């Protein structure tokens, strides 16, 4: 398990700061600080997303990449110039709005890296949009997020408009499956991704089913019976790693020999922890991201040095998202409005990708990537191949 960075207080928000930032902080507003000369210091950036809860591994990956970027910026500035604030949504749609309101109450925050998950994004982003605080999500992939008219929304990865067809293409062209079962956890993320896969596979889908949300169900016997009885050789599951692992463990116990395929929400060693390494081996996981091992520069070494773990899914994208904000602040965009305008014109070459945002906040289509990963016998997902959907 990855290092736990924060604990829920009262089940709502966790707010943490890098120590020693008092010399940079003041009680003035963003506009007051902007008029004082725009030194690039005295501001705050926030991570918003799961730090605790059943899917927190993915959130911790993102927060650690984000915090590493801010640390390096502060080292270059010679002081704790930018303060990190951390807000734990627990990945929950019901918790997220209250935590988002806590975040927007802090008028020194210029930008947000997150939310990581699509459901909490639907719940929290209207609050960020009303407050005018720009956000960059490193991982929320539901297609509709960029169709809400939010002016502050930016997505640093491909959406499920890309991931769904890519997963379908892998199942059809690489696994050569003619009978596919599709299930999902009914979340905004899982259901949206499963719908895309179903549409891509057409008549190859022999049956569909739904489970409860991640962490809410432990007995998947009903779905297991349906999968085994369907004759499917591939199960695509739209959901997160804990559910996916428990479902797979019970499928293997029920005698199913097929291949589980999932999206980026399952691209985590937590899948094998829930399923058992032997059960999880061979599972295919898609992600609208390149393998973190392909990150350029000293990122991988720096990450391991700081956190004593290897960079995980979306750690590198979060590092880039933070640096996009930091570059904007360094250029004098020291109000939320100016920083949001800056994001509309940015062309940033990071360690994971190049980033240009369309008017709706989506990544430029020319820059999207979708990879397939295969779970190894050691319980770790390893790169398999980049997927072409055409």
Q: Which residues are CB-contacts of 52 (< 8 A; sequence separation ≥ 6)?
A: 4, 6, 7, 8, 14, 88, 90
pLDDT band, very low/low/confident/very high, at 389 (cuts 50, 70, 90): low
Under a CB-based contact definition with an 8 Å cutoff, are residues 61 and 311 in contact? yes
Predicted confidence at residue 33, as pLDDT, reads: 36
Query: Considering only CA atoms, which of 173, 139, 169, 171 is closest in space to residue 155?
Result: 139
Q: Is 168 left (phi over 0), alpha (psi -120 to 50) or beta?
A: alpha
pLDDT at 390 > cutoff 60: no
Q: Which residue has the tokens 């596919």?
A: 180
Burial of 226 (0-12, 13-18, 19+ CB in 10 A): middle
* Neighbouring C-alpha atoms within 13 Å toward the C-beta of 146: 22
Beta strand 348-349 with 354-355 is antiparallel
How far is Cα 360 from Cα 167, in angstroms, rounded to an integer? 24
Under a CB-based contact definition with an 8 Å cutoff, are residues 42 and 322 in contact? no
Query: Considering only CA atoms, which of 138, 136, 132, 141 is closest in space to residue 166?
Result: 141
Q: Which residue has the tokens 């994004």?
A: 121
Diameter of the chain by CA atoms?
69
Residue 332 has a CB neighbour count (10 Å cut-off) of 15
Average pLDDT (359-372) is 96
Q: Which residue has the tokens 């890309």?
A: 162
Q: Show the tokens assigned to 158.
A: 């491909």
Digit-coded pLDDT (tens) for 74-89: 999 978 899 999 999 9
pLDDT at 15 > cutoff 80: no
Of the listed ranges 13-17, 174-178, 229-233, 318-322, the one predicted with least confidence: 13-17
Instruction: Give the three-class secondary structure for 72.
Output: helix
How far is Cα 65 from Cα 318, in angstroms, rounded to an integer? 5
Average pLDDT (201-221) is 94
Burial of 257 (0-12, 13-18, 19+ CB in 10 A): exposed
pLDDT at 21 > cutoff 90: no
Chain mean position to CA 12 = 20
The pTM for the full model equals 0.86
pLDDT at 156 > cutoff 90: yes
Under a CB-based contact definition with an 8 Å cutoff, are residues 237 and 193 in contact? no
For 12, which DSSP code?
Answer: T
Digit-coded pLDDT (tens) for 93-152: 999 999 999 999 999 999 999 999 999 999 999 999 999 999 999 999 999 999 999 999
Q: Which residue has the tokens 């779905």?
A: 223
Average pLDDT (280-309) is 95
Residues above pLDDT 70, as percent of the chain: 89
Dihedral sign, CA of 185, 191, 197, 203?
Answer: positive
């Amino acid at each position: 398990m990855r290092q736990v960075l924060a604990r829920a207080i009262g089940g709502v928000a966790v707010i943490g700061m890098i120590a020693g930032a008092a010399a940079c902080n003041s009680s003035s507003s963003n506009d007051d600080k902007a008029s004082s000369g725009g030194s690039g210091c005295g501001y705050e950036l926030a991570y918003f997303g799961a730090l605790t809860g059943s899917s927190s591994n993915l959130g911790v990956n993102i927060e650690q990449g984000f915090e590493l970027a801010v640390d390096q910026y502060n080292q270059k500035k010679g002081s704790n110039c930018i303060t990190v604030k951390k807000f734990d949504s627990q990945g929950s749609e019901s918790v997220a709005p209250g935590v988002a309101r806590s975040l927007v109450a802090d008028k020194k925050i210029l930008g947000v890296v997150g939310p990581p998950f699509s459901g909490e994004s639907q719940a929290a982003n209207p609050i960020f949009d009303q407050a005018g605080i720009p956000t960059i999500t490193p991982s929320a992939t539901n297609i509709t997020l960029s169709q809400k008219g939010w002016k502050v929304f930016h997505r640093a990865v491909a959406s499920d408009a890309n991931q769904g067809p890519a997963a379908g293409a892998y199942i059809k062209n690489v696994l050569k499956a003619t009978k596919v079962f599709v299930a999902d956890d009914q979340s905004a993320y899982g259901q949206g991704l499963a719908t895309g896969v179903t549409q891509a596979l057409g008549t190859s889908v022999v049956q569909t089913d739904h489970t409860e949300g991640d962490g809410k169900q432990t007995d998947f016997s009903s779905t297991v019976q349906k999968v085994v009885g369907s004759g499917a050789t591939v199960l695509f599951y739209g959901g997160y790693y804990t559910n996916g692992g428990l479902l797979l463990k019970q499928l293997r116990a029920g005698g199913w020999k097929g291949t589980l395929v999932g999206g980026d929400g399952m691209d985590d060693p937590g899948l094998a922890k829930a399923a058992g390494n032997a059960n999880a081996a061979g599972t295919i996981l898609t992600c609208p991201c390149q393998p973190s091992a392909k990150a350029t520069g000293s990122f991988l070494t720096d990450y391991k040095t700081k956190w004593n773990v290897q960079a995980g899914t979306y750690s590198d994208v979060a590092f880039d998202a933070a640096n996009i904000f930091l570059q904007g602040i360094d250029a004098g965009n020291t109000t939320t409005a100016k920083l949001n305008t800056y994001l509309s014109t940015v062309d940033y070459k990071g360690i994971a990708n190049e980033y240009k945002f369309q008017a709706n906040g989506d990544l430029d289509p020319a820059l999207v990537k979708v990879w397939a990963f295969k779970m190894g016998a050691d319980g770790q997902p390893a790169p398999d191949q980049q997927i072409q959907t055409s």
